Structure 1
């Protein structure tokens, strides 16, 4: 997150929102991430979602880590530095997604909101994710958050990257079952094993 901020080429939808809030308040970017994460976690209550260790850690650790990263990273002026910084940021976000989901200690507040809405409404994960992302992106933009080529690159790349790293870091169950979020074999085999593949 800190690397993508320093690249100044556009942020992912949630960070556009975080940056928009940070620009309108005296709070640091990381503090905004913590406050928003805690607020989203409160929305879990009516959705009857249960937080785990990973959920609570996500609220606090990411905000502290991004502020630390912003303190350590200089602000590059050259596009030759900013573009690789953006690419590395997006790839590392995919790595982080694969690691934290594979650890199975609970989803982050924002992912839990998506799955909670999916369970309560019966709508697909894809629809819930798109609706949330569009809402926070539009709100963040209106608050002054930066949108750019990095926003588009993140949107296009994070799905395939997350799936790739989920396969790498997946931990089989003791019985030998695979993670339900990782595709198994061919598309036809996946469809046969999953009655609603469009909801993954």
Structure 2
């Protein structure tokens, strides 16, 4: 088990909250499920909504969604189904990296795509540029919150995040370099497939890291230390 310690949340006299790296059974034994499971589910649903907001904003998508939007031009599936499909493709790539899926990993693979499709069904693309800009910015902000929520629930990494951390661990390269390499790769593949790239893609790339870092400390759910110690 490894721990990542975040900055002080309230002040110097308040214990710092920590992110722990646990297997699936240990995640369930670690307590506070009445708080953690709803937070995980809400975060993943909001993540799917944020994806759909950027699609309807039509000013550019997040890097992985550029790939998804290109994929659906060649396969008769919805955008949300493409998200689910690619999630399980990425999970296959975890095998040689020896990454261990968590409860949140599998939930992420399924819930985000279904939530995105439901939101796209309910929401139309506005004509006004200001409204589209608001949807794009709102999608990025909501994605930052959603990411912090699902990570803070401490049920494991999503498929794409796990691919990043696994590659970094195996290659010895920094997370920043691996993430940049992955995102450039999926954007290029997405563009070759006809995916959507624009200002929203740049905004997402610049903002999602700082937004998540800002929101995460207050959303990390402290686990039952006795349960962790016994896992």
Q: Do these two structures clear the TM 0.5 threshold for a shared fold by scoring above it?
A: yes
Distance 1:47 1:174 in 2: 29
Residue in structure 1 matched with residue 140 of structure 2 by the alignment: 90
Give the one of 185, 210, 213 matched to 1:160. 210
1:18 maps onto 2:56 in alignment: no
Which one of the candidate residues 64, 69, 73 is aligned to 2:114?
64
Tell me, yes or no, if the aligned pair for 2:73 and 2:194 is still in contact at 8 Å. Answer: yes
Shift of 1:174: 5.4
User: What is the aligned counterpart of 1:73 among 123, 142, 145?
Assistant: 123
Counterparts of 2:192 and 2:69, CA distance in 1: 11
Unpaired runs of 5+ residues, structure 2, are 1-50, 226-231
Q: Which residue of 1 aligns with 2:156?
A: 106
In structure 1, the residue matched to 2:42 is none
Aligned length: 175
SS across alignment from 1:24 = coil
Q: Could you tell me which residue of structure 1 aligns to residue 101 of structure 2?
A: 51
2:84 corresponds to: 34
CA distance in 2, matches of 1:168, 1:88: 20
CA distance in structure 2 between the aligned counterparts of 1:174 and 1:28, rounded to whole angstroms:
40
Deviating beyond 2 angstroms after TM superposition, the runs of 4 or more aligned structure 1 residues are: 170-175
Distance in 1 separating the partners of 2:175 and 2:59:
28
Q: CA deviation at 1:167?
A: 1.9
1:102-141 counterparts in 2 under 5 A? 102-141=152-191
* TM-score, length basis structure 2: 0.74
The two structures, once aligned, show a CA RMSD in angstroms of: 1.1
| Partner deviation per Cα, 1:73-95 (whole Å, 9 max, x = no partner) | 11211112111111110000000
2:29 — aligned with what?
A: none
TM-score, normalised with respect to structure 1: 0.85
- Partner residue, 2:26: none
Q: Distance in 2 between matches of 1:97 and 1:63?
A: 15
Quick one: distance in 2 between partners of 1:126 and 1:55?
Answer: 21
Partners of 1:154 and 1:21 in 2: CA distance: 20
Q: Secondary structure at the match of 1:46?
A: helix
Listed one character per residue, the Cα deviations across residues 65-112 of structure 1 (whole Å, up to 9, x for unaligned) are 110010011121111211111111000000011001111101000000
